[in-house]
Each structure stands twice: as structure tokens, then as C-alpha cells.
Homo-oligomer: A and B are copies of this chain.
Amino acid sequence: MIEIEARKEAASRAARLDAVFAALADPTRRAIIERLSRREARVTEVAEPFDMSLNAVSKHIRVLEASGMVERHRKGRDHILSVNTRSLDEVDGWIGRMRRYWGERLDAMERLLRELKKNRKSGPKDRKHGSR
């Protein structure tokens, strides 16, 4: 049972990552996120700078809502959009893990290079521990 729950949780985490990455794979949607990161805004305000129909922008907004990155609440007659500041945590976590792997590999490469340089500096002339 616990294993099934863990697998379900992993599957839904993967599905959330799929949705967030797919949502971010479009320049209009990234621009909307940048806009809303500065300040929440009405749908019409979000659409204003784009050279496309309100309907086209609304479709992009729905993709962002489905991914969990954008939230909507009503204030009187207005629909107010805002970013969910926790929505990038999982993406950040994933990228951070990759960076750590790479970091370790780069560190190892750096150590090797330093070692090689040191050996070159101490050269054959004043080498203390020569090969026998």
C-alpha cells in the first residue's frame, strides 16, 4: 500500500513537472508570468501589451492556470490573476539536482586539472617523488 501511494505521488509529481515545463515552453506564456511576477493584474491588463486577440491570450492564461503557475480570484466583476510563488519549487528542485551532479563532475575535472598543473610546475628538474 505504501509503495502504491509512493508511486502515485511520484507520478503526480512527474505530471506537475510536465505541465509546468510545457507551460513555460512558449514566449507569450513566459511574458505573462514575468508580468504577473511584478504585480497581480486583471485579464484585460495582462492581454494589453500583446499583439493578439483577448481570446488567444485567454487560452495561454488557461494553460498557465492548468499548470498551477497562475491563480485566479474574483474582485467584484474583475478576474484577478496572480502567480503561485510555490509553483516553481519543484522545477527548481529538479534543476538543482542536475546542477549538483554536474557540479560534482566539474569539481572532479577541476581537481584533475589542478593536479596535472602542479605536476607540470614541479617538473622533471625539481621533482621529489620521481617514478622508479
* Chain B nearest CB, measured from A11 CB (Å): 9
A98-B88 contact given A18-B27, A22-B22, CB 8 Å threshold: yes
**B99:A88 contact, CB within 8 angstroms:** yes
Instruction: Provide the residues of chain B in CB contact with A56, threshold 8 Å.
Output: none
A91 contacts the other chain (CB 8 A): yes
The residue that A95 contacts in the complex, of B85, B92, B105, with Cβ under 8 A, is: B92
In the complex, are the beta carbons of A102 and B37 less than 8 A apart?
yes
Interface residues of A (CB under 8 A from B): 14, 17-19, 21-22, 24-27, 30, 33-34, 37-38, 83, 85, 88, 91-92, 94-95, 97-99, 101-102, 105-106
Known: A18-B25, A21-B21, A25-B22. A37 touches B98 (CB 8 A): yes
**Given A25-B22, A27-B18, A34 and B91 touching (CB < 8 A)?**
no
Say yes or no: B27 contacts A24, CB within 8 Å. no
Answer whether A34 and B92 are a contact pair too, CB < 8 Å, given A18-B26, A25-B21, A27-B18.
Answer: no
